[in-house]
Amino acid sequence: MSDTDPMTSVPARAPSTASASRRENSLRTGLSTDRDYGDWRILGSCRNVESSLFFSPEGERGRDRARREAHAKRVCQDCRVLIECREYALAVAEPYGTWGGMSEADRRRRTHRRRRRDARTSAERLL
């Protein structure tokens, strides 16, 4: 028996013994995902793309950064696990790279908007 899955080049591992609370079915793909291992990652469109497309090199700014991020987002656009990837990045507050079609700045803006909305909602409840 091979130690690597020939279809994905991912090392084979024993079935997860994670508790049911840590395992869930992905609504989008219908496949079982284990949040500890990120099984959804093997289905990503980015799987065989150079990681430098998704993570900016030191000092990258302006047009170069915008161009690289736009290209990364195009890879994500039709990905079958886009939602799982995005939810993961938001849940763990991933500070670097393009995940689920969102750049670092996109995720910061979304988090900031959500915090402002939540603060506004809390303030309205006090009135």
Q: Is 26 helix (H, G, I), strand (E, B) or coil?
A: coil
Give CA–CA dist 105/108, Å, rounded. 5
d(CA 89, CA 105): 12
pTM: 0.65
User: Tokens in use for 5?
Assistant: 């899955």
Tell me whether residue 76 is annotated as binding: yes
Q: Could you count the other beta carbons within 10 Å of the beta carbon of residue 17?
A: 8
Residue pair 40/86 in contact (Cβ under 8 Å)? The answer is: no
Cα(30)–Cα(32) distance, integer angstroms? 7
Task: Please answer whether residues 54 and 46 qualify as being in contact, where contact means their C-beta atoms are separated by less than 8 angstroms.
Answer: yes
Check whether 46 is labelled as a binding-site residue. Answer: yes
Pairwise CA distance, residues 42 & 8, whole Å:
7
- Tens place of pLDDT per residue across the chain (127 aa): 444 444 344 433 333 333 333 334 444 445 444 555 568 889 999 999 999 999 999 999 999 999 999 999 999 999 999 999 999 999 999 999 999 999 999 999 999 998 888 888 877 777 7
Residue 57 neighbours by CB distance under 10 Å: 9
